Structure 1
Amino acid sequence: MNILLEQGWSEIDSKLIKNYVLSDFTHAIKFINLIAEDAEKVDHHPDIKLYKYKNVRVTLTTHSKRRITEKDISLAKQIDKIFDSIN
């Protein structure tokens, strides 16, 4: 978990939260769609917010456990990889 915090993730109210800034609207939407594809594969779905046309906020938590679990940590790492691949 510490490595996620070092990579810009925050732990707030039992949730992992990170903001990403993409180069433009098209890249932001592509990023969101790639997150959705991976989230669907692992059946673990983050909250995703697009704001100011190129900013994306991702929030992860395991709702059934009311806390951050290994599923959240694993998906957070995958989301960072997705961002690195398109940025």
Structure 2
Amino acid sequence: MAAQSSEQLVKKRCVPCEGGVEKLDQEAARAQLEELSGWELLQNPDRIKKTWTVRNFMAGMNFFNSVAELAETEGHHPDLHLVGYRNLSIEIWTHAIQGLSENDFILAAKIDNLPVELKA
């Protein structure tokens, strides 16, 4: 997969994956991450992660509700973490292949377009 801009990714939809799809290698994942803001690559299993510090607890819950609606629409579900009432993180990977696919970057780009009330 050639690296795509965030604008290109948000125009796509996640494709159902039940396995049989090649996971992206580290080089392809790193190249794609350069097109997204604030996401980092984790390993074992390969996944991407982003963190936010939001204004307050309800700002975090509102953001997570928006992410949940998006995830349902896309049929691709991230792990959502809330710690210390306003420290959020999201981890995304394609569970069926235990690694990264194009779907993960599509979802990340779309999450980046959701409104979030950050700590001032």
Normalised by the length of structure 2, the TM-score is: 0.66
Question: How do 1:32-51 residues align onto structure 2 when only pairs under 5 Å count?
Answer: 32-51=64-83
Question: How do 1:16-55 residues align onto structure 2 when only pairs under 5 Å count?
Answer: 16-55=48-87
- Name the Cα RMSD after superposition: 0.9
| Residue of structure 2 in register with 1:86 after alignment | 116
Matched, 1:76 2:111: no
| Structure with the bigger percentage of strand | 1
| Residue of structure 1 in register with 2:88 after alignment | 56
Aligned mates of 1:78, 1:56 — CA distance in 2: 17
Report how many aligned residue pairs link the two structures. Answer: 83
Aligned mates of 2:52, 2:103 — CA distance in 1: 20
- Unaligned runs of 5+ residues in structure 1 are none
Normalised by the length of structure 1, the TM-score is: 0.90
The ranges of structure 1 where at least 4 consecutive aligned residues each deviate by more than 3 angstroms after the TM superposition are none
| Residue of structure 2 in register with 1:12 after alignment | 42
| Structure with the bigger percentage of helix | 1
Higher RCO (C-alpha 8 Å, min separation 6):
2
1:8 CA displacement:
1.1
